[in-house]
Structure 1
C-alpha cells in the first residue's frame, strides 16, 4: 500500500508543514491551491498507475491550466513574465507529488518565457496563448547526441535558407514531451562563419506534425509520466514565420532564459527531496521492529534528520535565488546554480537514504520511494550537470580561474 506523500496529505504526528514560514501570503495561497489540486486530482495511486503505464496525465494538466498554474500571470499580450517566486512554489509542490508533471512545467515555463520575449504577435496568438491557458504544450529541442555541455560548438542540426523559407535537417535527443506537444522550439545552426560558437544559431518554432518530422520515444529510467524523445528533422520545409527572435542570435537568446530553467529545476529537485523524506519518515514512524517503531533507532533517525537539514538548506538557497531573480540582481544566475546543486544533491542523497531506511519496501513498486529514487537522478545532469555548475560557481562566486 502507498503512503500519502503528495500535496502535504496524511502527515505523521509531528511532521512540520513545509515552507509556511517563508512564503508570502500570495505564495502561501498558491501553495495551498496546488496541494488542493493534487489531493483532488492526482492521488498517489493515480500517479503510480500513470508512471507504470508511462502515460502523460492530460487530465491533470488540464486542471493546472484551468487553475491558471501554467500561465501564472504571464501576459501574452505584453510579453510580461510570470514571477519566478510563484513558479518555484508550483514546481516544488508538483515535485513532491507528481514529478513528471513538474518536469513538464519546467519546459512549459521556459517556452512561455522564450515566446514572451521573442515571439511576434502571430506566434504569441497561435502558440503562447494556448500554452498559457493550458490547452497546448511546447517542447524545447536543444540537446544533441554528441553535444553535451558544449552543445553550441557541437551542434549539427542545420537550417538552410531557401527563398523566403528554410529547410531544417538534423536530430535532437533527450527532448522532453516531444511526442505529446504540438510545437517545439528548435535551435539549429544557420551560419558556419559566425564570430563564435554561440553565434550563427537560430530558434525556430516548428509544428511537430510537419512533413519530415519524426519522433521516437526513448526508454528512460525515470520521469515515466512524460515522454523523453529523439526528434529527427528530414529536410523539413519551414516558412519565414517560424523564426523565433533574431536570425543567428538564437543561442544567445536562450542563454538569457537558462537562469530561470536552473531555478525551476532546483524547485523540482527540492520537491522530490521533500516527498522522499516524508515517505521515509512516514514509513519509519509506522514500521515496527523489535517491539518499537524503527524511527526510534538512532542510526535511522540520524539519516532522516540529515535529510531534513539538507531540505531546509536547499530551500534557503532556492528562496535566495528566486528573490534575486525577481529583483533582477546581477548575481541571480550564481545563486540559481548554487540552489540547483544543493537541491539535486539533497534529492539524490535523501532518496538513497530513503531506500535504505525502507529496505525491501523501498525497492517495491507499491511505494513511491523507488520512483523518487529514479526521478531524482535527472537533476544531477539536467539542465546542466552539477559538475559544470560547480565550475561556474567557482569562477563567478569564488573568483577562481576558469576550469573549462
Structure 2
C-alpha cells in the first residue's frame, strides 16, 4: 500500500514526528507524495480509484509506522471526504486538487459537530447572518492539521434561532481567525494540532459545505469514523507483528493469544468494511460505534501483549523506543473524538430509549 521510500522515511522519522522534532509541513508533504490521499477517490476527480475501505487501509498502513502521521492523514482525508459529499461543486473544484497534492492542509474540525449530533455538547461556533453570508464567533479547542503555512478547516455552525445549523469550510487567511500555538501533547507533536478562535470572522456562501448539518453529518459520519479506525487497525497490526518477532516461532500461550487477537482484529476490520460498502452505518450508527470501540480495545490489547512478549527489553532505551511510542499511541486512541466514553454513553442512551 505504501511505496518503499515513504515506508523508509516513516521508519526513520517516527520518533522525531511523535516528539515534535520534525517539521509538520514535511509530514503532510510526504503523505501527499506517496499518493495515499488519492486512494478511494474516483480518477475523474484526481484520485487513484477504489473506495473508502481502501482509504482506511492506507491510513492503517501509515499508523503501523507512525500514528502521528496517520492522524495527519486522517484529518486531510476526512476533509477531502467532506468535499466529495458536499453539493458545493464550485468549492470542490477550487480546493480538491491542492488538497490531494498536499499544497493545502485540510482540517476536520467536526469533532465537536459529531458530539453535537449525538446530543453530547452544543456547537461551539455561532453565526449571525449578513447580506451574502455570515459573521462567525466561537472556538474550536482541538483541531489537527492546522498547518502554519495555510489550511482550510471544516466546522459545524450554530445558526440564528429557528434556522438549521450548517457546515462551512473556513480558510486560514480569514480575518479574525486566530490559531493558537501547537498544543503541548505527550506525543503526536508534529501533527499541527492547535485551537482556533473566531473573532467576527466574515465568510460568504461560497465556503458553504452544506446548509443543513443534521443532514450532512450523518452522511459523512461513517467515513469520518472508519478512517479514524484506520489508526487503531494499523497500531494493533504492528504490535501483533512485534509479538511474533519476539516469539520467533516459539510455541507458547502468548503465541496462541496473539493468534486469537489477530483473528478478532481482522474479523472486526471485515465487519467495518462490509458496513461501509453496504451502507448500513447510515441507518445504524450504533453498529459503527461498537466496531470503533472493539478496534480501540484491540489496539490496547495488542500493545499490552507486545510488552509481555518483549519483557524487560521494553524498558531498555536501545530496544524499547518503538514500543514506548506505541504505548503512548495506544493511550491516545480511546480519547480521539468521539472518545470511547462518549460512544459508550451514546450506546447506553440508545439502549435506554428502546
Q: What is the TM-score normalised by the length of structure 2?
A: 0.84
The answer to whether 1:376 aligns with 2:330 is yes
Q: Which deviates further from its counterpart, 55-64 or 183-192?
A: 55-64
The answer to whether 1:207 aligns with 2:189 is no
On the 8 A contact 1:325/1:332 being kept in 2, the answer is no
How far apart are residue 329 of structure 1 and its match? 3.8
Corresponding position of 2:200: 235
Closer/same/farther in 2, CA of residues 352 and 143 from structure 1, 3 Å limit:
same
Of 127, 131, 153 in structure 2, the residue corresponding to residue 184 of structure 1 is 153
Q: Which deviates further from its counterpart, 81-90 or 357-366?
A: 357-366
Gaps of 5+ in 1: 1-30, 195-199, 286-294
How far apart are residue 346 of structure 1 and its match? 1.1
Q: Find the aligned partners of 1:162 and 1:183 in 2 and give their Cα distance.
A: 22
C-alpha deviations, 1:350-383, integer Å up to 9, x for none? 2233335445543455521111111122221323
Of 212, 218, 223 in structure 2, the residue corresponding to residue 255 of structure 1 is 218
Closer/same/farther in 2, CA of residues 310 and 37 from structure 1, 3 Å limit:
farther
Of 210, 215, 230 in structure 2, the residue corresponding to residue 267 of structure 1 is 230
Gaps of 5+ in 2: none
C-alpha deviations, 1:171-205, integer Å up to 9, x for none? 101211124451101222012335xxxxx221111
C-alpha deviations, 1:143-177, integer Å up to 9, x for none? 459x7885675223211112213111111012111
The answer to whether 1:350 aligns with 2:318 is no
On the 8 A contact 1:320/1:335 being kept in 2, the answer is no
On the 8 A contact 2:124/2:140 being kept in 1, the answer is no
Q: Find the aligned partners of 1:401 and 1:144 in 2 and give their Cα distance.
A: 24
The answer to whether 1:97 aligns with 2:60 is no
Q: Find the aligned partners of 2:312 and 2:239 in 1 and give their Cα distance.
A: 15
How far apart are residue 232 of structure 1 and its match? 0.7
Q: Which deviates further from its counterpart, 385-394 or 153-162?
A: 385-394
Of 43, 47, 50 in structure 1, the residue corresponding to residue 14 of structure 2 is 47
Q: Which deviates further from its counterpart, 112-121 or 94-103?
A: 112-121
Q: What is the TM-score normalised by the length of structure 1?
A: 0.75
Aligned positions, number: 347
The answer to whether 1:315 aligns with 2:266 is yes
On the 8 A contact 1:76/1:124 being kept in 2, the answer is no
CA RMSD of aligned residues (A): 3.2
Q: Which deviates further from its counterpart, 324-333 or 75-84?
A: 75-84
Q: Find the aligned partners of 1:227 and 1:360 in 2 and give their Cα distance.
A: 34
Corresponding position of 2:29: 62
Q: Find the aligned partners of 1:152 and 1:237 in 2 and give their Cα distance.
A: 28
